[in-house]
Amino acid sequence: MIDPAVGALLAGAFALLFASAALHKLLDPQHFAAAFSAYDLVPASLGFLSRLVPLLELAVALALLAARWRSGAAVVGGTLLMVYAAAIAVNLRRGRADLDCGCAGPAARRPIRTWMVWRNILLAALLAALLLPRAPRPLTAADALTIGAGITVAALLYLSLDTLLVRSLPFARLRAGSQA
């Protein structure tokens, strides 16, 4: 069983994650379409799917905010995260680590890395917690404060870890180069 405050916190944090992912894709659909195509996982004739991905992410974000649709949104969102993980893993296995992940928006190009696969698997597992039955207790004003603060902390933690992991590889190369 999951406490309703924890469930609401997770739902809010993941809604924010999926909404922000959709937004950067919608702001520059050509950039995302190019990244999507570069993965070389679907025939060119299915390239239109790149336009559906941000709409699906936005639908997941909105559905996570409605208790009635939360479980379905968790399943769809978790599936999306696992598909992203698989797409990255397949291309890493192909030796194509130079591909843009398509996850940072048009302002930043990020090459795919193994940690991104594990990040998405971990996120999908966390999202699966929303499938647990909710404890039968009403939310209080203290819960609202906890949920709001928790979503803020979760977003900041995600951004901090993402930045740290993105920057860790170049710094590791720099340190190795200076010792040679």
**pTM, to two decimals:** 0.87
Least confident of 8-12, 36-40, 142-146, 149-153: 36-40
Q: Can you name the residues that pair with 97 across neighbouring β-strands? A: none
Q: How confident is the model at residue 170 (pLDDT cuts 50, 70, 90)?
A: low
Number of domains in the chain: 1
Q: Which amino acid is at 164?
A: L
In the predicted structure, residue 111 carries a pLDDT above the cut 50: yes
In the predicted structure, residue 132 carries a pLDDT above the cut 90: yes
- Residue-wise pLDDT for 78-102, tens only, equals 999 999 999 999 999 999 988 888 8
Taking the CB of residue 90, how many other CB atoms lie within 10 A of it? Answer: 14
Domain span at residue 111 reads 4-179
- Residue-wise pLDDT for 53-71, tens only, equals 999 999 999 999 999 999 9
